[in-house]
A and B are shown apart, each in its own frame.
Chain A
Amino acid sequence: AQSVSQHNHHVILSEAASLELGCNYSYGGTVNLFWYVQYPGQHLQLLLKYFSGDPLVKGIKGFEAEFIKSKFSFNLRKPSVQWSDTAEYFCAVNANLPGLGRGSTLGRLYFGRGTQLTVWP
């Protein structure tokens, strides 16, 4: 079944530690990839996105992600986390599902289950 997998449910780090959150998807065809963040009490915000071109994308607040097509992965990284990065992180995919025709999944994001990141000061 098509899905988006985030490998870590909860990650706990100390400030200044490096972060890598895994995301794998199982959709074929052309995909667009996103990482969203949900800070406590706030709404989902876009961290970064990949549509095409350079597979290494940079987002806000020092985050970056690398699209590896052969591994169906889009891992999120940050070299040095801060206490303010404590939040829930969601990987999302927008894809044209093969066989369903153009536009079959327009406006639809498939989300991973999320990773709760806790950063200790």
Chain B
Amino acid sequence: KAGVTQTPRYLIKTRGQQVTLSCSPISGHRSVSWYQQTPGQGLQFLFEYFSETQRNKGNFPGRFSGRQFSNSRSEMNVSTLELGDSALYLCASSLQGSRGNEQFFGPGTRLTVL
């Protein structure tokens, strides 16, 4: 079974631009969660989607948004990029996202904002 895939793997953008990251979950998984990983803040939860609905949201500004499609693939968008948005963005999928479901992580997208 293929794992969680994320595209692109690396991105370089400049301040003020916007970016869209993509995540394909493991086949059959309906929940997709997004995390931001930085050396200073560690792993922080962005949001979770289940059956095309945002079910959970972390403490990030509205510039961070996401969506999920009917095939469970998910995208996250960051508008008006800031230097502090430079990070590794991780996507994780699980069967139903219920408490206790194991989350499987993708390799991440490394975003650099110049």
Contact = CB atoms under 8 A, between A and B. Distances in A.
A43 B3 CA distance: 11
Q: Which residue among A36, A46, A109 has the maximum number of chain B CB atoms within 10 Å of its CB?
A: A109
A107 B42 contact: no
A94 interface: yes
Contacts of A108: 33, 45, 48, 56, 58
Contact of A106 (B55, B58, B108): B55
Contacts of B103: 46, 107, 109
A110 B35 CA distance: 10
A51 B100 contact: yes
B49 to A, nearest CB: 8
Contact of B50 (A45, A90, A107, A113): A107
B99 A96 contact: yes
B99 A106 contact: yes
B92 to A, nearest CB: 8
23 contacts: A32-B99, A34-B102, A36-B105, A43-B90, A43-B106, A44-B92, A44-B105, A46-B104, A49-B102, A51-B100, A90-B43, A94-B100, A95-B99, A106-B48, A106-B97, A107-B97, A108-B33, A108-B56, A109-B43, A109-B45, A111-B43, A112-B42, A114-B42
Interface of A: 30, 32, 34, 36, 42-46, 49, 51, 90, 92, 94-96, 103-114
